[in-house]
Amino acid sequence: MLSDIENLLLLQDADREVLRLNEEIAALPRRVAAIEEKLAGTQVQLEKARVAVKGDETARRKYETAIQDLQQKISKYRDQSLDVKTNDQYRALQHEIDFAQKEIRANEDKILELMVNSEVREKEVKAAEAELKTEMAEIETEKIEARERTEEDQKQLAEWTGRRDQMRTGISPDLLLHYERVLKLRKSGLSEVREHKCMACQVMLRPQAYNEVRSGQSVIICDSCQRILYFNPAHELADTERASMPTKRRARPKTDAPQAWFYRPDFGEHGEVLLVFTTNAGSSSRRIYEMHTGRQVGDILVREGSYRLAFPEDLPEAAIRLNGFWEETEMDGWGAEMPMVALDALHRDLDLARAEFAVKPHGERSEAVPTEHPAAS
């Protein structure tokens, strides 16, 4: 591995630690602020409970005063009833007395209701006071821990910043500039390569680029995400080890399946491509995807008849039938690029097909090669 790449890997570790510490330092005040906000909410609830208790007390005094006034009226009406001369006058005073007694009972009911509510209010006040006391103790503890943690983080941040500045001196300026530009844009400036693809953006590499990254003799940039690529042999099996592994038995594609995937190594200017034909209601559609990126090539083409008869020019002897099936509605949802899970599945099946069926020189295939000639049905 190039020394610049090794230094960049160390620098990336330092940058990530610096980023983590900065984020933690910024998060601690927010954490304390969240607790203080909760504390403020508890204080508001406590104040509301206290106001409600005072309101009940005021209402109770009002009803008690009203009862005293009504009792005085009743006493006055009874005194007046002793001096009346007619039955009508007596009945009128008695009516006033009955009405006042009814009002007294109504006010007594309201006082009783307030007394019941008062017990609930008092419990709410005591609960809010206890919660407030607990939260105040917690926030003081959190503030102390936050201050201590911030001091420790700032100390580590200063150390890591010093290390990072030292590491930067061992990297070529142009490469360092590219790394920092991508780091600012994508949060990481390097990406490991495994099994022919960039692990950051999941885009397949061209064979030549992949081999150059494996060799470690030059700096290679990912064409898709612009990250600087590196290879770690500990994370990928060597070719000799891979070849010695037992080959998984491959399922044969069904000839009468409504969908057929093919690999073509020589599709005009596009080179290696994947073709998918879907037959439905007497017509067939064709989609084309780049072999290594999964990007769609051209538009979807629809013709009448089965795909063998509708697109005979797309199925030469070199085409290899693959296992794969996705609903057309799902493929429509892919847009301009198929997902990596689908692309990887087709790549794995192609590897199995190549391992299972030998290819002869000059493009001639053995009788066991799973191709489908347009005339076969």
C-alpha span between 255 and 376 (Å, rounded):
9
Name which of 224-228, 277-281, 322-326, 355-359 the model is least confident about: 355-359
Rounded mean pLDDT, 355-371? 47
pLDDT at res. 179: 92
pLDDT at 370 over 50: no
- Helix H, strand E, coil C: the string for 222-290 is CCCCCCEEECCHHHCCCHHHHHHCCCCCCCCCCCCCCEEEEEECCCHHHCCEEEEEEEECCEEEEEEEE
pLDDT at res. 241: 54
pTM, whole model, 2 decimals? Answer: 0.42
Name which of 25-39, 75-89, 91-105 the model is least confident about: 25-39
pLDDT at 316 over 90: no
pLDDT at 367 over 90: no
Taking the CA atoms of residue 158, residue 163, residue 166 and residue 172 in that order, the dihedral angle to the nearest 10 degrees is -120
Phi and psi at residue 261, in whole multiples of 5°? Answer: -105, 140
Name which of 17-31, 130-144, 236-250, 270-284 the model is least confident about: 236-250
> How would residue 373 be classed by pLDDT, with cut points 50, 70 and 90?
very low
Cross-strand bridge partners of residue 193:
198
pLDDT at res. 102: 93
C-alpha span between 252 and 370 (Å, rounded):
8
pLDDT at 113 over 50: yes
pLDDT at 247 over 60: no
> How would residue 277 be classed by pLDDT, with cut points 50, 70 and 90?
very high
Average pLDDT across the chain, whole number: 83
The CATH 1.10.287.1490 portion of the chain extends over 3-167
Locate 32 and state its tokens: 């304390």
> How would residue 300 be classed by pLDDT, with cut points 50, 70 and 90?
very high
Q: What is the largest CA-CA distance in the chain?
A: 139
> How would residue 248 be classed by pLDDT, with cut points 50, 70 and 90?
low
- How large is the angle between the packed helices 87-168 and 3-81, nearest 10 degrees? 170
Degrees, nearest 5: CA angle 222-227-232: 85
Question: Count of CB atoms within 10 A of residue 273's CB?
Answer: 19
**Percent over 70 (pLDDT), the chain:** 91
C-alpha span between 66 and 28 (Å, rounded):
57
Residue 247: HSE in the Cβ half-sphere, 13 Å Cα cutoff:
14
Rounded mean pLDDT, 158-172? 89
pLDDT at 263 over 90: yes
C-alpha span between 330 and 140 (Å, rounded):
55
Residues 261 and 346 sit within 8 Å (Cβ to Cβ): yes
Question: Given strand 228-230, what is the order of strands in its sheet?
Answer: 197-198, 190-194, 228-230
Question: Count of CB atoms within 10 A of residue 342's CB?
Answer: 18
Residues 369 and 317 sit within 8 Å (Cβ to Cβ): no
Q: Which residues contact 45 (CB under 8 A, 6 or more apart)?
A: 128
C-alpha span between 218 and 237 (Å, rounded):
22
pLDDT at res. 374: 36
pLDDT at res. 178: 94
Tell me 203's DSSP state: P
Domain 3-167 -> CATH class? mainly alpha
Name which of 101-105, 300-304, 333-337 the model is least confident about: 333-337
Alpha helices in the chain (DSSP H): 3-81, 87-168, 173-186, 207-215, 239-244, 307-310, 328-334, 340-356
C-alpha span between 184 and 181 (Å, rounded):
5
